[in-house]
Amino acid sequence: MKTTEEVIQRFRQAGFKITPQRRAIFEVLAGNENHPSVEAMYQEIKIKMPDISLATLYNTLNELNALGLIDIVRDTSQKAVRYDPNTEPHDHLYCLQCNRMIDIENMDKDLELPEERSQGFHILRQQVTYYGYCPDCQKILEE
């Protein structure tokens, strides 16, 4: 994700007002590599800003996504959604034990789904998630 100031500028250009709550959300996401869930962001922001509402958080995240400033990542293991401030093409490593998600370079940048296999879908982008155990969890599981 861009810096907090760049996001503020894009929001203003799109006609949105910059509130203290939105600024707090931008700050939590800027440079965040943890792919946070709404719940994690809410708990972090609530410490500094106890009056923030979940509706404000969800609305702001939807606006950020619509502006292309964050991506939504489906966490199928927890049936949840996480938010990724890195909007460049990339894949993920996901730990089945600790739920950690790590960005990795898109392994097959030129991979295209043949038209006969796309079942009529117009493909906009691709993302692969590799599931396994991170080094820390491997040690725990071996004990």
pLDDT tens for residues 88-143? 888 999 999 998 999 998 766 666 777 778 788 877 777 888 899 999 999 988 87
Mean pLDDT of 69-79: 82
For residue 142, what pLDDT is reported? 86
CATH superfamily of 88-142: Ferric-uptake regulator, C-terminal dimerisarion domain (3.30.1490.190)
- Number of residues that this document lists for the chain: 143
For residue 68, what pLDDT is reported? 92
For residue 111, what pLDDT is reported? 66
CA atoms of 103 and 124, how far apart (whole Å) = 19
For residue 40, what pLDDT is reported? 93
**Token digits for 27?**
């700050």
**Exposure b/e, 93-119, CB count within 10 A at least 16 = b:** bbbeeebebebeebeeeeeeeeeeeee
Give this prediction's pTM.
0.83
What CATH class is the domain 4-75? mainly alpha
CA atoms of 38 and 22, how far apart (whole Å) = 14
**Token digits for 78?**
């927890």
Residue spans of the domains in the chain: they are: 4-75, 88-142
Domains 4-75 and 88-142 agree in fold: no
CA atoms of 23 and 4, how far apart (whole Å) = 7
